[in-house]
Amino acid sequence: MSIIALLANTAGAYTVSLNRGTASLSLSPSEGFDSSSTYIAVNGISPLHEYTYSAWQEDDNDFAILDSEQTPAPTPASEEATIPYFKYTFYVKNAGDSFAEFSLSLNIEVVGMPTNGALDLNSVLRVMFYSNRNLTEHNRDVYALRSNINKVTGDDGITRYAPERICNPSSDYAEPFISANKVLTSDEIDFGPGEIIRYTFVFWIEGEDPDCIGEPPDNGLSLSVNINAKEQAAPETEM
């Protein structure tokens, strides 16, 4: 396994913003919506050291445990210490009387330029995304930037850089980032009055990635989740 000692700078800020338009949606870090808003911010995220997806075990229920407001992100032992991953769980609720539809996007911005010989942070970043309207489920996907070396030709005849493996060469492929600065988008329709959806994001530096070599990265990340919503005239399943 390749080793990164640490991510030198803090990962920066993590924000969730909701543009609810004509829909009556709200955000909360808890399912009970004891407090709700249209904006959530987490500042001063601790530096990350390398970790690996294979450290989480399905048989030990690790993935379900991660997808919970009761499971906080790891905390550093000291101000100088690092953490293996950062995670955040939040909920979106339709607090109105009409159906809604919305689109969620996760954007990343690398803060600062790496110095000569430093690892490309984007190339080893992994993002695990949970999206569940059934709160008893823990469906998830893992995302990574496409390979900057290997190319494949798709069924459409277009040759693109290949998706990365989630961790080691024998693991499944990760879903590719949309671009270097946009990880993913997720759309919801027929979101009824009183309905709740739970989201969890997990970010880590994948130590089993073949690119995880060289000097530790000396730049950081700014992470933002944007949700754009509008009122839906009628459920599409009834149209």
Give the DSSP H or E segment for 62.
helix 62-66
Instruction: Determine what percent of the chain falls in helix, strand and coil, rounding each to the nearest 5.
Output: 5, 45, 50
* pLDDT the model gives residue 147: 76
Structure tokens at 103: 């689109």
* pLDDT the model gives residue 28: 94
Are 193 and 97 within 8 A, CB to CB?
yes
* pLDDT the model gives residue 238: 55
Burial (CB count <10 Å: 0-12, 13-18, 19+), residue 168: middle
Coil, helix or strand for 84?
coil
* pLDDT the model gives residue 8: 35
CA gap 209, 68 in Å, rounded: 27
Spell out the residues 6+ positions from residue 57 whose beta carbon is closer than 8 angstroms to its own: none
* pLDDT the model gives residue 10: 41
Structure tokens at 92: 């979106």
Q: 0.85 cut: is pTM over it?
A: yes
Are 27 and 92 within 8 A, CB to CB?
yes
* pLDDT the model gives residue 225: 93
* Regions in the chain scoring below 50 on pLDDT: 1-11, 239
Nearest to 149 by CA among 165, 133, 137: 165
Longest dimension (CA), the chain: 58
* pLDDT the model gives residue 167: 87
Beta-bridge mates of residue 200: 89, 130
* pLDDT the model gives residue 66: 97
Q: What is the DSSP string of 31-60?
A: TT-SS-BSEEEEEEEPPB-EE-GGGS-TTT
